Structure 1
Amino acid sequence: MALLGTLVAATAVVVAAPTGSAAAVPTRIMALGDSITGSPGCWRATLWNRLQSTGYTNIDMVGTLPAQGCGVAHDGDNEGHGGFLATNVANQNQLVGWLSATLPDVVLMHFGTNDVWSNLPNTQILTAFSKLVDQMRASNPAMRILVAKIIPMNPSSCTECAARVVSFNNAIPSWAAGKTTAQSPITVVDQWTGFNTATDTYDGVHPNAAGDQKMSDRWYPALTAALSGVTPSNPPSPSASASPSASPSPSAPPSVSPSPSRPPSPSPTGGAGKSCSVTYVIIGQWPGGFQGELRVANNGTVPISGWSVRFTFPNGQVISQSWNGQYTQTGSTVTALNVSWNGLLSPGAGTATGFLASYQGTNGTPVPVCTAL
């Protein structure tokens, strides 16, 4: 199996260089997908730092979701929505709003894992892919689109998922060949070959640090080819940058629907100039369960070394799994503390921590309070 299936000539992806003395406008890159891309999706941090170190500095990662840590500085904006199905995103026209808000020039799409887990037909998933591509091109007729053959999946709860992934990936190249155009080329990036769920994931689905490095290494040549009109400020280096330490992301049930978030709550200060805010977000919800997220930001005037979020569930919800935070629950009251790598926040910086929880009947939204430490 070829490492990279490029469906168009390199000349089709050249970006016109700016003329005159005006500063070049950064190329805007959207990473689109599910929890493999965004919860926390540390392959994006590895890829970003490799691009920076090899001279591709005039780029801007865009998305309506913030970075979720990963332990290294990086431009972490993304559209990696944990638990989302590509078919639902297409059917509900969710991508249209994300595109309008971010205006990308390039899209990296690793999508379909939850659709495959849900045993949806390949034709249905690829029909959704076609609609998403049409929406990308409506936003930008010259959109450069990189579509992944998704990484292997072998969760203990889905013995047939591994074979389904192979079947789905085998259908992608012919779909892409029929959908690519000279103005808006589609490049297929093989993320499957050489990826081992036993050594490159921590749960059979989500990449660990080794998996993040492999994903970054596969994206890099395809993305730099798409950025062929962006001249590196330094000669490219063939070696990859070190991988950040990945943090667990949830293996959420595949079929979810997004819910609105509660605006950031006011927070008590933890000292002179120290302050933080927190936004409670329901990422996805299904009968009896949901995925939640706490988005913490330093809204003070000095750096903070840590944070604590406290809230009380109004309907007896119970947390069963968490990541990127230390959670304790007593009755309906929950306290979430930072972990070692996401506590230090400069003014204006933020991070996120998430969880899976169950509910019965009503899933009311609590009012969280953030304390800066």
Structure 2
Amino acid sequence: MNIKSRLIVMNFLEFFVWGAWLISMGAYMFNVLGFDGAQVGSIYGTMGIAAIVTPALFGIVADRWINAERVLGICHIVGAVLLLVASRITDYQGLYLIMLFNSFFFMPTIGLNNTVSYIVLEKKGFNIVKDFPPIRVWGTIGFICAMWMVDLLGWNKSPFQLYVSATAGIILGIYSFTMPACSPVPTKEKRSFASSLGLDAFVLFRRKKMIIFFLFALLLGAALQITNTYGSTFLDDFGKTFPDAFGVKHSNVLISISQISETLFILTIPFFLRKFGIKQVMIMSIFAWVFRFGLFAFGDPGPGLWMLILSMIIYGMAFDFFNISGSLFVEKEADIKIRASAQGLFMLMTNGIGAFLGNYISGMVIDHYTVDGIKNWQSIWIAFAGYALILGILFPLFFRYKHNPEEAMAVKH
């Protein structure tokens, strides 16, 4: 198997692990375990808490002491064991604690997966900006396959979704150890105390451009997982008005159009980055979020199904143009010696602080618009759309970046 094929398998399994439960876990907690919006939001928020700490921490370990592919494997195996434990817990406090520990080990794997992919491609002489997106797209395909498996087996509201994820995690953990060595970059320079702790990745904050980029990454990161957290529950609530609708019976399959859209938009990233640059691509992403939430506000599984489908299609641009392009931008801007730490820092701002705030506040918003157990979804989605619109107006005013097409496609050494 050639190296690109091996990276495809790794990326497929990386997001299969996540897709098995990320979309459907909310419906399981709402409808089976009886949790409220704040509780569901807080459990999803454990990913944000973990991403504040462990992606940067494990990035430091991969940069300085242990091969990145080994750190990736260890994290997946430990995370899988914790998911098996979570499948047997039904109380809020217990599930919160176990999912928090699972998040401590899973969230670093997203950045580590990118780091391993970048290092291996670079060693083989490939162009990361050009060759990584077609590999990463298989991660989204893995996410879709996991969603469909859980949905078609009827496990949307069952703890069996966690067994599916755990099984894939163990397989990926073992597989990671077979990847080409991604050793820490040796250096003869004397390290300062801050450098020894891996805090040198924060030198990126010395540049105004990067401060503003990371600030908006944090703010936009608050919106990244909102529809993943509540999308399935939103469709389930149409059970009385459209009981026989496909989107109600198979909410995961309908939502998976979002991930199918991702596979298409990922492939367009090299073109858009080369043509427009990171600033314009991120502006497109922010306004795509406005439409994503707005179409949810007025769509339904009946006559308004076309609006939900259009929202799913737009999701690909909203998520990928920010998440993948942002990761590639950080890779270009960071020194080679801190590449894993820099990816961890990006995760810290987006899936860490941003996601934590997003899940916490979104849970409060949902509870605010819930009266006698009935959620006013239109007001909820309009509130989220308004938030994204404000970001879309402010971002181009503050983020100053001159696009250089040749630099955007350059191979980093």
TM-score (norm 1): 0.28
Judging by fraction of residues, say which structure has more strand.
1
Judging by fraction of residues, say which structure has more helix.
2
TM-score (norm 2): 0.26
Query: Which gives a bigger RCO, structure 1 or 2 (Cα 8 Å, sep 6+)?
Result: 2
